[in-house]
Structure 1
Amino acid sequence: MERIVLAYDGSPAAVSALSWTATRATRGPTSVDVVVDIPPWTKDRVPGTERFIDPEVVLRDRLPGLEVGLHRLDGEVTESIARAANNADLVVVGINPGHPIRAAATGWIPLGLSTLAAAPVCMIPVGWTEGNDPVTVGIADDYSSDAALRFAVAEATSMATGLRLVHSWLMPGPTFDTPAALTLRPEAVIDDHRHRLDAAVQLVREEVPTQLIQSELIRDSRSAALLRFVSRSSLLVMGTHRRGALIGSLLGSVAQEILWRAECPICVVPTERTRIASVGVSAASPVSVDSGE
């Protein structure tokens, strides 16, 4: 059974995250733990809150018999949600694309969760509606996208939709540390990156022969390459080095650059503890289509 932890504060973004969670729960045995960040008196004492959408009611109406647990926050928001997500398979939170200042005022909760939670964190943009576009996953130069690729394959399989693998590259600047640096050719760089992408595609084909796959090799930064597909994806999946929200802001975190321009759900999948490959995935660590991990 898949265990989902949903962060819920009653906002429009949280309602979108609730709707996404309910839709996902229809795919198989699921339990949902809702971590509520709403003062107990809000519904009864604040004018206009008659429009408050009760997450437990929505989930049980959509899926009678669904196992739902409600939990109040205990302490700092991000850390409380991360603790509640211990042993969870997925964490879900709503986001407001185009509002980074508003996010900063609330503690950058989605980015903070992606650095603290042990499970993949899916961030659902306000106004989300279900579609049938491919699941897009970024393939990194190192091992950081291994788990993300497996997660993306599982998602595309369960959604019965296509899978798009995106790998970007930029011509490295000359270092002149060795004579070899003087002979670096663009063709050799392109071939190396194409090999990384082709290796990931081949592994998916071996594991899931019926999966429809697109592959995109793009000369651009990772964030710019992925942003090309946010309006044409049901889900955008990426790995993470867990640099943290503050360090990521200084180093140009790919997730941070994409998040506030998202037009589709974004899922950040943590790197597994054991390094498993340097080309995206490896035959020693096969793609799993039986879980969302």
Structure 2
Amino acid sequence: MERIVLGYDGSPAAVSALSWTAARAARGTTRVDVVLVASPFTRDRAPGLERLGEAEAFLRDRLPGLEVELHRLDGSVTESIAEAAEDADMVVIGIHPGHPIRAAAAGWTPLRLSTRANAPVCMVPAGWTEGGDPVTVGVADDSSSNSAIDFGVAEATATGVSLRLVHSWLMPSPTFDYGTAITVDPAAVIEDHRRTLSAAVERVLRDAPSVPVESELIRDSRSAALLRFASRSSLLLIGTHRRGVLAGTLLGSVAQEVLWRADCPVCVVPPQRGEKSVSELTNAAEELA
């Protein structure tokens, strides 16, 4: 049984996330835990309980017999939902595209949750409508996108759509050695990135030969390349190094750049349980050094 934790507050974005969750739950045996997080200083519990009741009624109307659990929690939204989703298969929340300032005022909840939760975090934009577009996955230069690719294969298989793998590249700047510029062969750079994309395609064909696969090699930043396909995707999947929001801001995070501009659901997929992320491996190596 798949267990989905849905963060719900009754907002338009939350309603879209609720609809997306219902569509996913219709695929098979699913349990949905609807979580509403309220301020610990809120005395009137009635509005929150009413919103939870509305979410439950919507789900049961769409899917009679669906297992639904309601949770009204007090405290931090990020920590409360992450703890509720400790053993979940997926976390779903709504977002308002184009409003990163609003998210910053709320503590960057969507991005913080994606670095805190153990499960994939799917963020559904307000106004989402179901379509039959491909599932798009951003393919990284390292192993951080492997789980996202596997997740994309499962999604494409379940929904009967194709899988689009997108890998982008930028020409590295020349380096200098003793005042002499050392340039890079453009053809060699392109070939390296082509091999990266080909390896991802081969991974899909090996594990799911029946899934139609499209591949796109684009000269651009990762975020810009993915945004080219956002309006033509049913879901946009991104792997993560789990650096955290602050580190992501300093080092550059694809999720941060894509999330507020994409008009399709965006899902941040962490390494599978038992699989160490790049940052975790780096920290372990530093401790042993």
Change (3 A) 1:9 1:101: same
Tell me the distance in 1 between the aligned counterparts of 2:91 and 2:7. 8
Could you say which residue in structure 2 is the equivalent of 1:283? none
Could you say which residue in structure 2 is the equivalent of 1:42? 47
State the percentage of identical aligned residues: 68
Could you say which residue in structure 1 is the equivalent of 2:275? 274
Tell me the distance in 1 between the aligned counterparts of 2:96 and 2:176. 45
Could you say which residue in structure 2 is the equivalent of 1:291? none
1:1-293 aligned at under 5 Å gives the runs 1-37=1-37, 40-42=45-47, 54-176=54-176, 182=182, 184-272=184-272, 273-274=274-275
Tell me the distance in 1 between the aligned counterparts of 2:89 and 2:154. 13
Superposition CA RMSD, Å: 2.3
- What letter matches 1:226 in structure 2? L
Tell me the distance in 1 between the aligned counterparts of 2:118 and 2:20. 20
Larger mean CA deviation between 103-112 and 189-198 belongs to 103-112
Q: CA deviation at 1:252?
A: 2.1
SS in 2 for 1:172: coil
Tell me the distance in 2 between the aligned counterparts of 1:55 and 1:97. 22
Q: CA deviation at 1:174?
A: 2.1
Q: Deviations over 1:173-192 (max 9, x none)?
A: 122359xx836200000001
Q: Deviations over 1:93-122 (max 9, x none)?
A: 000001111111222111111010000000
Q: Deviations over 1:236-283 (max 9, x none)?
A: 000011111122222221100001101000000012353599xxxxxx
TM-score, normalised on structure 2?
Answer: 0.89
Tell me the distance in 2 between the aligned counterparts of 1:92 and 1:236. 14
Whether the 8 Å contact between 1:222 and 1:254 is mirrored in structure 2 is: yes
Whether the 8 Å contact between 1:136 and 1:229 is mirrored in structure 2 is: yes
Change (3 A) 1:16 1:173: same
Q: CA deviation at 1:60?
A: 0.9
Larger mean CA deviation between 7-16 and 67-76 belongs to 67-76
Tell me the distance in 1 between the aligned counterparts of 2:118 and 2:246. 18
Tell me the distance in 1 between the aligned counterparts of 2:183 and 2:256. 35
TM-score, normalised on structure 1?
Answer: 0.87
Gaps of 5+ in 2: 39-43, 279-289
Tell me the distance in 2 between the aligned counterparts of 1:6 and 1:233. 22
SS in 2 for 1:82: helix
- What letter matches 2:80 in structure 1? S
Tell me the distance in 2 between the aligned counterparts of 1:37 and 1:115. 19
Tell me the distance in 2 between the aligned counterparts of 1:148 and 1:102. 28
Tell me the distance in 1 between the aligned counterparts of 2:109 and 2:234. 23
Whether the 8 Å contact between 2:37 and 2:76 is mirrored in structure 1 is: no
SS in 1 for 2:17: helix
Tell me the distance in 1 between the aligned counterparts of 2:120 and 2:177. 39
Gaps of 5+ in 1: 278-293
Could you say which residue in structure 2 is the equivalent of 1:290? none
Q: CA deviation at 1:78?
A: 0.5
**More relative contact order, 1 or 2 (CA 8 Å, 6+ apart):** 1
Could you say which residue in structure 1 is the equivalent of 2:281? none
Tell me the distance in 2 between the aligned counterparts of 1:143 and 1:203. 12
- What letter matches 2:46 in structure 1? W
SS in 2 for 1:263: coil
Q: CA deviation at 1:43?
A: 6.9
Tell me the distance in 2 between the aligned counterparts of 1:209 and 1:276. 27
Tell me the distance in 1 between the aligned counterparts of 2:48 and 2:4. 25
Whether the 8 Å contact between 1:15 and 1:53 is mirrored in structure 2 is: no
Whether the 8 Å contact between 2:36 and 2:52 is mirrored in structure 1 is: no
Whether the 8 Å contact between 2:34 and 2:52 is mirrored in structure 1 is: no
State the number of aligned residues.
272
Tell me the distance in 2 between the aligned counterparts of 1:3 and 1:104. 29
Could you say which residue in structure 2 is the equivalent of 1:289? none
Tell me the distance in 1 between the aligned counterparts of 2:162 and 2:37. 36
SS in 1 for 2:28: coil
- What letter matches 2:223 in structure 1? S
- What letter matches 1:84 in structure 2? A
Whether the 8 Å contact between 1:143 and 1:275 is mirrored in structure 2 is: no
